Amino acid sequence: MSPGISRKWVGWTFLALLASTIEPLRAQPEGDPAPMATDAPNLPYRATVKPTGDDNLDRVLRLSSGLIALQERAPTDAEGVVSRIGAEAEKLRPALESEGYWAGQVEVVAPGVAERGGALDPAALAAQPAPLALEIRVTPGPRYTFRNIQTLGGGPPVAVTPGAPARAETVIAAQEAAWNAMREDGRPLARIDRSVTVDHGARAMDVTFTEQPGPRADFAMPEVAGTERVDPEVVRRVAALRLAERGYLPARLTQARADISALGPFSQVRIDQATALDANGRLPVTVTVRERPFRAISASAGYETNFGARLGLSWEHRNLLGGAENLRVELEGSRIGSEADRMNARAAVIWRQPLPLGYAGTAVGSLSYVRDRLDSYDRDAAIFSLLYERRLSDRWTLSTGPVGEVGQSAPSGGTLESYQIAGFTGQLRYDSTDSALDPRRGIRALASITPSYAFTESQVFVPLRISGSTYFDLSGGGRTILALRGAFGSLLNATAGTVPPPQRFYAGGGGSVRGYDFQSIGPRDARGRPSGGASLLEGSVELRQRFGSSYGAVAFVDAGAVGTSAGAPTDEIRVGAGVGARYYTPIGPIRADVAIPLIRQQGSGSFGFYIGIGHAF
Alpha helical stretches, state H, 344-480: none
For the segment 256-264, the average pLDDT, to the nearest whole number, is: 92
pLDDT given at position 571: 75
Are 434 and 544 contained in the same domain? yes
**How many separate domains does the chain show?**
3
Running DSSP on this structure, what letter comes out for residue 28?
Answer: S
pLDDT given at position 30: 44
Neighbour count for residue 385 (Cβ, 10 Å): 18
Q: On the CB side of 548, how many CA atoms lie within 13 Å of its CA? A: 6
pLDDT given at position 256: 92
pLDDT given at position 4: 53
CA distance 558 to 569: 15
Q: Is 542 domain-assigned? A: yes
Q: Is 513 domain-assigned? A: yes
pLDDT at 14 over 50: no
Are 286 and 395 contained in the same domain? no
pLDDT at 17 over 50: no
pLDDT given at position 114: 67
Are 386 and 506 contained in the same domain? yes
Report helix, strand and coil shares of the chain as percent, to nearest 5: 15, 45, 40
Q: Is 531 domain-assigned? A: yes
pLDDT given at position 31: 44
Are 231 and 100 contained in the same domain? no
Are 286 and 378 contained in the same domain? no
Task: Please tell me which residue, 391 or 538, carries the higher pLDDT value.
Answer: 538
Strands of 292-441, DSSP E: 295-304, 308-317, 326-336, 344-354, 362-373, 377-391, 396-411, 417-431
pTM above 0.85, yes or no: no
For the segment 16-45, the average pLDDT, to the nearest whole number, is: 49
Three-class DSSP category at 170:
helix
Instruction: Give 374-421 pLDDT, tens digit per residue.
Output: 989 999 999 999 999 998 887 899 999 999 999 999 998 889 999 999
Instruction: Give 437-467 pLDDT, tens digit per residue.
Output: 899 999 999 999 999 999 988 999 999 999 9
Instruction: Give 121-167 pLDDT, tens digit per residue.
Output: 888 888 888 888 999 999 999 999 999 999 998 888 999 999 999 98
Would you place residue 116 in the very low, low, confident or very high pLDDT band (cuts 50, 70, 90)? low
pLDDT at 228 over 90: yes
pLDDT at 279 over 50: yes
- Domain with residue 239: its CATH number is 3.10.20.310
For the segment 326-343, the average pLDDT, to the nearest whole number, is: 90
Q: Is 520 domain-assigned? A: yes
Rounded to the nearest angstrom, the gap between the alpha carbon of residue 286 and the centroid of all alpha carbons in its chain is: 26
pLDDT at 35 over 90: no
Which of these three, 80, 108, 139, is where a domain ends? 139
Q: Is 404 domain-assigned? A: yes
Would you place residue 18 in the very low, low, confident or very high pLDDT band (cuts 50, 70, 90)? very low
Specify whether the CB–CB gap between 209 and 192 falls below 8 A: yes
Q: Is 168 domain-assigned? A: no
Q: Is 377 domain-assigned? A: yes
Neighbour count for residue 378 (Cβ, 10 Å): 22
Which of these three, 110, 139, 168, is where a domain ends? 139
pLDDT at 10 over 50: no
Would you place residue 25 in the very low, low, confident or very high pLDDT band (cuts 50, 70, 90)? very low
Which of these three, 234, 269, 291, is where a domain ends? 291
CA distance 612 to 437: 13
Q: How many residues does the chain have?
A: 617
Give DSSP secondary structure letters for 511-536.
TSSTTS-TT-BS-B-TTS-B--BSEE
CA distance 569 to 547: 39
459 Cβ partners below 8 Å, 6+ apart?
A: 453, 494, 498, 499
Q: Which of 201, 168, 146, 10 is nearest to 96 (CA)?
A: 168
Instruction: Give 52-75 pLDDT, tens digit per residue.
Output: 988 889 999 999 999 999 988 888
pLDDT given at position 13: 35
Would you place residue 34 in the very low, low, confident or very high pLDDT band (cuts 50, 70, 90)? very low
Rounded to the nearest angstrom, the gap between the alpha carbon of residue 123 and the centroid of all alpha carbons in its chain is: 53
**Sign of the dihedral through C-alpha 202, 203, 204, 205:** positive
Are 593 and 491 contained in the same domain? yes
For the segment 312-327, the average pLDDT, to the nearest whole number, is: 96
Are 440 and 588 contained in the same domain? yes
Are 277 and 408 contained in the same domain? no
**Domain hosting residue 233, numbered range:** 223-291
pLDDT at 32 over 50: no
Instruction: Give 282-302 pLDDT, tens digit per residue.
Output: 999 999 999 999 999 999 888
pLDDT given at position 1: 46
- Domain with residue 404: its CATH number is 2.40.160.50
Q: Which of 522, 433, 552 is nearest to 484 (CA)?
A: 433
Q: Is 177 domain-assigned? A: no
CA distance 299 to 329: 12
Q: Which of 581, 565, 576 is nearest to 604 (CA)?
A: 576
